[in-house]
A = this chain, B = another copy of it.
Amino acid sequence: MTQQERPVSAAVARRAELRERLLVAGRAAIEAGGLSSLKARDLAAAAGCAVGAIYTVFADLDELILAIGAGTLSALEGALESATGDAGAAADELSRLARGYLQFARAHETLWRALFEHRLGGRAVPAWFLEDQNRLFALIEAPLARLLPQEPPAARARLARSLFSAVHGVVFLGLEEKIAPTPAATLDAELERLVRAFAAGLAAESPAAQSPGSCAGSSSS
């Protein structure tokens, strides 16, 4: 390391530290009042910096919100990974993943809602954020590959996203009790039934499951 690099490194470290303080402040603001409560002025005050300093580490508030979202996805991934295990039947693992998703949404409701409320207004989602998403979907693709070994990877990728969307719909409307009173135990049971029926129906689609008597059993291996 040359002598000239020292001040540069110190500046880099200060910016990294400011970035972290802004992320913590932004996350706290979303948790307290939802995405709409995130204001540059309040963020700067909470992070102890000038409003303009925000834009030395983030291009705009959207980028900060995406970075907070990436943290939420990472926490979700951690929660779901601890719920997976490649020994069990595919339907069991899909059911564990759905249950894990519901538990995560319950435990981090405002941060989780912010993931879906935030819109980039026509700008493309950055590649690094899509990679974070794709790691999550890979957790669903793995049991689907065991359930449907002959499914082409592209179709399986779509299927994982459809199943995620379906589970998300049940969790989203269920937690909000938007269309019906939904006690926690009811929501748990309905989600379980949805995922089990979906997995059984998919297994029945596949050629391996067309032999008599195999539809209700463990066609995942």
- Chain A residues within 8 Å of B, Cβ to Cβ: 116, 133, 137, 158-159, 161-170, 172-174, 178-180, 186, 190-191, 193-194, 196-202, 204-205, 209-210, 212-216
Contact = CB atoms under 8 A, between A and B. Distances in A.
Nearest to A117: B117
Contacts of A162: 170, 190-191, 193-194
8 contacts: A158-B186, A161-B190, A166-B170, A166-B194, A200-B205, A204-B204, A205-B216, A214-B215
Contact of A159 (B164, B193, B205): B193
The residue in A166, A191, A216 that gathers the most chain B C-beta atoms within 10 A of its C-beta is A166
For the complex formed by this chain, how many copies does it contain in all? 2
Minimum-distance CB pairs A-B, first 6? A169-B169, A215-B215, A197-B201, A201-B201, A200-B201, A212-B212
Given A167-B169, A196-B201, 6 more contacts: A116-B173, A158-B186, A159-B190, A165-B170, A169-B169, A215-B216
A210 B216 CA distance: 7
